[in-house]
Amino acid sequence: MNKLQGFYEMERMGIPVVPWKPFTGDESLDPDLLWSVRVAVQSGYDFNLPRAIGVTADEAVAYGRKFLAKLSPQDLVVYYPYFIALKSGILEIQADQTIIEAVNQDLWNLTTLGRKDVTLVINCQNGAVTRYGQADFLTEAEVDELLFYAQKIRRSHRQYIYAQNSLILEWHYALHTNAHGDRIGEKYLVFTECKSIGDLE
């Protein structure tokens, strides 16, 4: 499951996913926001594909058109409003437990630098929670919200998960920014990627 396939799957899950749209080259983007534009392939691996993150509206359109010019007909360029991550992490949904890993700010700090502020392991049979690291890094409201969506995904993908296939989702508590990089609006939860264990092997 690559990034684009993960976007489609998360939309079917009914969870808050980054509001991506296919780029056609005719867009008029809001100049008061920053934008992210990236190439997304319909199938196969999608590591290190061209992208422009946190650029102005004019820059996003220019990058998008440049990416389109070199794109295979079956693939897409997608765009969405840029966000700043306050907290990020991994939500792993297994048959018998849910694991939440969290790190301050960008997920890069966890996946690439190996930093981790807290790990929570939740037993699905009795609800027992085991914490490793900074126990209060995530608020109870944040934990409850992440577990709400974990339960929703477990219900909708029960057969897949209980066939010994874990689902792994990347999440962020985020804020939008204006064109100057200033934070705007309220903090919100957004999921940006979905993979299965098999994708990582």
Encode pLDDT of 84-137 as tens digits.
Answer: 999 999 999 999 999 999 999 999 999 888 999 999 999 998 989 999 999 999
The residue type of 154 is: R
Q: How far apart are CA 115 and CA 96, in angstroms?
A: 26
Domain ranges within the chain, ordered by starting residue: 3-81, 85-173+181-200
CB burial of residue 201 (10 Å; 0-12, 13-18, 19+): exposed
Superfamily grouping for domain 85-173+181-200:
ATP-grasp fold, B domain (3.30.470.20)
Q: What does each C-alpha distance from 16 to 35, 52, 172, 189, 193 come to in angstroms?
A: 18, 22, 10, 7, 11
Encode pLDDT of 9-46 as tens digits.
Answer: 899 999 999 999 999 999 999 999 999 999 988 777 66
